[in-house]
Amino acid sequence: MIPELQPESSLCGVPVLSTAGEAFRPGGGEGEIIVRIRPPRPWEALDLRSLWRFRDLLLALAVRDIKLRYRQTALGVLWVVLQPLLAAGIFAFVFGRIAHLDSGGVPYVLFCYAGLLAWNLFSGVVLKASGSLVANASLVAKIFFPRVVLPFSTVISTLLDFAIGLVVGLALLLAYGRVPGLALLAAPFWLAFLLLLATGVGLICAALAVAYRDVMHILVAVIPEGLPRTLYKLNPIAPLIEGFRGALLGQGSVGPRSAVYAIVFTIGVFMAGLIFFRRMERQFADVI
- Interface residues for another protein in 64-93 (CB under 8 A)? 64, 67-68, 71-72
Residue (of 271, 287, 286) closest to 48 by Cα position: 271
Q: Of 242 and 281, which CB lies nearer to another protein in the complex structure?
A: 281
How many beta carbons lie within 10 A of that of residue 276, not counting itself?
A: 19
Residue span binding another protein (CB under 8 A) among the ranges 51-59, 101-109, 160-168, 232-240: 51-59
Identify whether the C-beta of residue 276 lies closer than 8 Å to the C-beta of residue 151: no
Backbone angles phi, psi at 252, to 5 degrees: 85, 150
- Judged by CB under 8 A, the residue of 27, 28, 30, 32 near another protein is 32
Pairwise CA distance, residues 113 & 195, whole Å: 18
Which stretch, 62-70, 185-193, 197-205, 249-257, contacts another protein (CB under 8 A)?
62-70
Q: What angle do CA 183, 185, 186 make, to 5 degrees?
A: 75
Answer for the pair 86, 75: CB distance below 8 angstroms, yes or no. no
CA distances, 255 to each of 233, 240, 242 (Å): 12, 11, 10
Binding-residue total with another protein (CB under 8 A):
45
Say how many C-beta atoms besides its own lie within 10 A of residue 142's C-beta. Answer: 8
Query: Is residue 29 involved in binding another protein (CB under 8 A)?
Result: no
Q: Which stretch binds another protein (CB under 8 A): 98-106, 134-142, 158-166, 173-181?
A: 134-142
Q: Which of residues 183-222 bind another protein (CB under 8 A)?
A: 211-215
Residue from 144, 182, 229, 233 binding another protein (CB under 8 A) = 144
Other C-beta atoms within 10 Å of 107: how many? 18
To the nearest whole angstrom, how small is the minimum distance from the Cβ of residue 7 to another protein?
13
* Residue 255, CA atoms < 13 Å, CB-side half-sphere: 5
State which of residues 21, 107, 151, 202 lies at the interface with another protein (CB under 8 A). 21
Binding track, positions 146-185, relative to another protein; x by CB under 8 A: ----------------------------------------
Interacting residues with another protein (CB under 8 A):
1, 3, 6, 11-12, 20-21, 32-40, 54, 56-57, 59-61, 63-64, 67-68, 71-72, 138-145, 211-215, 282-283, 285-286
